[in-house]
């Protein structure tokens, strides 16, 4: 039986969505600008379904067509657009040619497990459950788009696919012996940006993209702060600039280019000449790690190092969450085991207050 729902858009326009559900047949839907068109389509489609002549949108479109529309119409607005496209590339190759009507949970599970068994592209090694879950999230978002916007699917088949259990998170930070060795290697590096970038990451806990995309207009040398307007969590955040990082920034400010607002502009050897391009520190970073004889350490671990040392210095979890830009305390809780002395101090203060 057909049901017609009137919809009012924010711009004042009206549309009519038709939903047809007949026992023993797959539900179908479509949207029209005019009520008469909606009624005509509903009547004709009901007749075709009953006479086995109807082939719904899911039997006319492939998964690849969904990806094409999703990447053109929705992905460009996402902060993670580049990562989403990379993750959808796997699914395009695995299930792209399939008709949407042939896509089911079993097929997705098969390719989910195949991805888990595939070594990582960069650095090799076993692919984590979290990595696969991110790929599954990209697929789910595309299929949700097919349901809600394209109306090519009645239901997202990802609803029946289980995600992998993720670990509580990797916490690798520089030890008291490793820290000076890494800074020494960065100071000796021929790259003009490496030391400042590392110092800022260590002292602020900023993410790599937040640090590398900094512009001078975000820096307030008088207040010793850097303001992040467009963060991963979508909220403004202020980073304190202290110590050697602040001294280096003051010196750099004296010789910075008037026509270039980037803190870490790409060098003349860069193929990307756009003003959004920033310095590529991968090679000098890896060289510094090798010179310092530090293994199993990634750039993001500089953020973990900042958080770990804050915890060991007695900074509260609420303050850490605010400085690091965590929306919940769950992420910050990973560092709680690093501040046992602070816990003892707090308990001692409570005992004194209670007189016990």
State residue 48 phi and psi, 5-degree precision: -65, -40
Query: Using 50, 70 and 90 to split pLDDT, how confident is the model at 13?
Result: confident
- C-alpha of 271 from chain center: 26
Tell me the H-state helices in 242-316. 243-255, 282-292, 301-312
User: CB of 101 within 8 A of CB of 59?
Assistant: yes
- What is the predicted pLDDT for the residue at 217? 94
pLDDT digits (tens, 9 = 90+) for 99-153: 998 999 999 999 999 999 988 765 556 788 888 999 999 999 999 999 889 888 8
Q: What is the dihedral of CA 92, 95, 98, 99, to 10 degrees?
A: -80
Is residue 91 exposed (0-12), middle (13-18) or buried (19+ Cβ within 10 Å)? Answer: buried
pLDDT digits (tens, 9 = 90+) for 82-93: 889 999 999 999
Q: How far apart are CA 171 and CA 300, in angstroms?
A: 10
Does residue 229 have a pLDDT over 90?
Answer: no
- What is the predicted pLDDT for the residue at 119? 82
Query: Using 50, 70 and 90 to split pLDDT, how confident is the model at 52?
Result: low
Does residue 339 have a pLDDT over 70?
Answer: no
- What is the predicted pLDDT for the residue at 272? 58
pLDDT digits (tens, 9 = 90+) for 188-210: 999 999 999 999 999 999 999 89
User: CB of 235 within 8 A of CB of 183?
Assistant: no
Does residue 184 have a pLDDT over 60?
Answer: yes
Neighbouring residues of 102: CB distance < 8 A, sequence distance ≥ 6: none
For 77, 203, 216, 224, 301, the CA distances from 249, given in Å and listed in that order, are: 33, 13, 10, 10, 23
Query: Using 50, 70 and 90 to split pLDDT, how confident is the model at 325?
Result: confident
- What is the predicted pLDDT for the residue at 351? 65
For 105, 250, 255, 263, 279, the CA distances from 258, given in Å and listed in that order, are: 56, 15, 9, 12, 18
Does residue 232 have a pLDDT over 80?
Answer: no
User: CB of 88 within 8 A of CB of 74?
Assistant: no
What average pLDDT score do residues 291-297 get? 95
What average pLDDT score do residues 167-180 get? 84
Does residue 346 have a pLDDT over 60?
Answer: no
Query: Using 50, 70 and 90 to split pLDDT, how confident is the model at 327?
Result: confident
Query: Using 50, 70 and 90 to split pLDDT, how confident is the model at 35?
Result: very high
- What is the predicted pLDDT for the residue at 33? 84
Does residue 168 have a pLDDT over 70?
Answer: no
Please tell me whether residue 286 adopts helix, strand or coil conformation: helix
Higher-confidence residue: 283 or 8? 283
pTM summary value:
0.60
Query: Using 50, 70 and 90 to split pLDDT, how confident is the model at 257?
Result: confident
> What's the start-to-end Cα distance of the chain, in Å?
74
Neighbours of 303 (CB within 10 A): 22
- What is the predicted pLDDT for the residue at 135? 95
């Amino acid at each position: 039986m057909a049901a017609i729902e009137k919809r009012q858009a924010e711009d004042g326009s009206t549309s009519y969505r038709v939903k047809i559900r007949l026992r023993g047949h797959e539900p179908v839907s479509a949207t029209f600008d005019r009520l008469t068109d909606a009624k005509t389509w509903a009547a004709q489609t009901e007749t075709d379904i009953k006479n086995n002549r109807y082939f719904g949108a899911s039997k006319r479109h492939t998964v690849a067509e969904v990806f094409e529309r999703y990447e053109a119409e929705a992905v460009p607005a996402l902060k993670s657009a580049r990562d989403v496209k990379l993750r959808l590339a796997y699914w395009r190759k695995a299930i792209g040619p399939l008709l949407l009507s042939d896509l089911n949970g079993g097929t997705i599970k098969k390719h989910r497990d195949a991805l888990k068994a595939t070594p990582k592209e960069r650095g090799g090694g076993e692919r984590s459950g979290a990595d696969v879950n991110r790929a599954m999230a990209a697929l789910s978002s595309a299929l949700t788009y097919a349901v809600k916007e394209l109306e090519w699917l009645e239901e997202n088949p990802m609803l029946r696919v289980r995600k992998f259990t993720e670990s509580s998170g990797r916490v690798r930070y520089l030890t008291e012996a490793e820290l000076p060795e890494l800074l020494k290697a960065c100071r000796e590096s021929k790259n003009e940006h490496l030391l400042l970038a590392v110092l800022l990451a260590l002292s602020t806990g900023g993410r790599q993209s937040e640090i590398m995309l900094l512009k001078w207009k975000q820096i307030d040398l008088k207040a010793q702060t850097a303001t992040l307007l467009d963060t991963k969590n979508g909220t403004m955040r202020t980073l304190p600039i202290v110590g050697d990082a602040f001294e280096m920034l003051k010196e750099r400010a004296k010789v910075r280019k008037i026509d270039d607002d980037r803190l870490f502009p790409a060098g003349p050897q860069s193929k990307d000449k756009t003003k959004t391009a920033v310095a590529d520190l991968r090679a000098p970073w890896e060289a510094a790690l090798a010179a310092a004889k530090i293994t199993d350490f990634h750039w993001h671990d500089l953020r973990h190092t900042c958080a770990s040392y804050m915890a060991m210095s007695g900074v509260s979890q609420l303050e850490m969450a605010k400085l690091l830009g965590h929306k919940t305390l769950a992420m910050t809780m990973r560092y709680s085991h690093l501040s046992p002395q602070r816990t003892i101090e707090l308990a001692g203060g409570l005992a004194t207050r209670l007189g016990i």
